Structure 1
Amino acid sequence: MSIPIILLAAGQSRRMGGADKLLQEVDGRPLLRRSAEIARSVAPVIVALPPAPHPRHDALSGLDVLGVPIADAQEGMNASLRGAVRALPQDAQAVMILLADLPDLTAEDLTTVMRAVRDVPDNLIWRGATEDGKPGHPVVFHRDLFPDLAKLTGDGGAQTLVRRHAGRVHLVPLPGQHARTDLDTPDDWNRWRSGRERLRES
């Protein structure tokens, strides 16, 4: 199946005290570039970005991804979804929505969720979950939901669609808390880095 990935990276990092969470360094490169590289190893990637000029564009320099500037990004996540969905290829059978600030997700995790679309086809939504079953990311939407994604407004993401089609959502367990570890604040980053350092030392 043709399932491109939309990487949402147009948000304003309002809770980071002036820093840009997507430009924080992880494994020697900005988190945004790392997330895009992981996604690109799995499927074609569309990245929703703030309008240029912006350092996030520079962070993706040289990568084979399609950047889509979101003029109304201040509205919230759904402006990014609308803009990126309009850039989907005509033959896309589904789309994976991926947040750029999930540092524990791996290419294998994304592939696991993609595989569920093929293996458990009688659904509209396939969603990564923690190993104990809490829903998280990434989320794949069947092409039948593209028109609804293109009409979302506000900052609630696609949760209204997930709730509306709750009976046709398939959860895909991923290792640990990969599906839910997002880094929105300096405290989040400090805790995550400390935990990672402890794992390296153990």
Structure 2
Amino acid sequence: MNSVMHSTSKSFRGLLLAAGKGTRFDPAGTGNKLLAPLPGSDDVVAVAAARAMLQVLPVLAVVSDVDSELGRRLADAGCELVGCDDADTGMSASLMCGIRQAQDAAGWIIALADMPYVQAATHRGLLAALKDGVQIAVPAYLGQRGNPVAFGRSHLDGLLALSGDRGARALLQQFPVNEIPVNDPGIHRDIDTRADLEAR
């Protein structure tokens, strides 16, 4: 694992998971969906996702290579970076890379870099819940849960023990979850295919 800027902050941290391949977007593997220009924006997908979080709290972006174009763009946007060499083994590997790097934080908001339409207000609501002592919080739009997900420090050990490609879903099934109502359809909208970029 390669990293830059080791974090020792006791504040809350944003984790942006940006190490995936996105093979549904480009089966040939030549195009990275996270670097795709976002229609109506000057940013690419991952940077748009990062900027919404950066309005609210410091962000650690988990990438496969900190020296890649994606890494450079996220760093230029203001993210701290950590490289995850085993990201191909599943989302949990990326998540654990980020948690290990920011394990001294008071809690984490975990966001996906292929969800560029999540609003800063949603991150703000999740952060407020963490500051109020909530240990797991998720946003809900029209009664349906979405991403990102917030975890308090009591779940550090559980987050570090995850495996596979289900991310932190197991913890959401095992422990009480506080739903934060938001007016944000972006919590349900990710970029999996090229058509998703053009959808309205």
TM-score normalised over the length of structure 2: 0.86
Residues 1:124 and 2:135 are matched in the alignment: yes
SS of the residue corresponding to residue 185 of structure 2 reads coil
Match of 1:137 among 147, 157, 166: 147
Question: Gaps (5+ residues) in structure 1?
Answer: 196-202
Distance 1:2 1:61, change over 3 A: closer
Match of 2:14 among 2, 5, 8: 5
Shift >4 Å, 4+ stretches: none
Tell me which residue corresponds to 1:200: none
Aligned length: 186
RMSD: 1.7
SS of the residue corresponding to residue 179 of structure 1 reads helix
Tell me which residue corresponds to 2:5: none
Tell me which residue corresponds to 2:4: none
Match of 1:22 among 34, 42, 46: 34
Match of 1:77 among 70, 73, 91: 91
**Counterpart-to-counterpart distance in 1, 2:57 and 2:184:** 24
| 1:21 partner letter | K
Tell me which residue corresponds to 1:188: 196
SS of the residue corresponding to residue 77 of structure 2 reads coil
Kindly indicate whether the alpha-carbon contact (under 8 Å) linking 1:73 and 1:80 is maintained by their aligned counterparts in 2. Answer: yes
Deviations 1:54-106 (A, max 9, x none): 2211322423321110000101110001111011152x221110111112212
Match of 2:172 among 158, 162, 173: 162
The within-5 A match list for 1:78-117 is 78-88=92-102, 90=104, 92-117=105-130
Residues 1:48 and 2:62 are matched in the alignment: yes
Structure number with larger C-alpha Rg: 1
Deviations 1:151-196 (A, max 9, x none): 111111100011011xx210112214221111111222232xxx2x
Tell me which residue corresponds to 1:153: 163
Question: Gaps (5+ residues) in structure 2?
Answer: 1-9
Tell me which residue corresponds to 2:76: 62
Sequence identity percentage: 30
Kindly indicate whether the alpha-carbon contact (under 8 Å) linking 1:41 and 1:107 is maintained by their aligned counterparts in 2. Answer: yes
TM-score normalised over the length of structure 1: 0.85
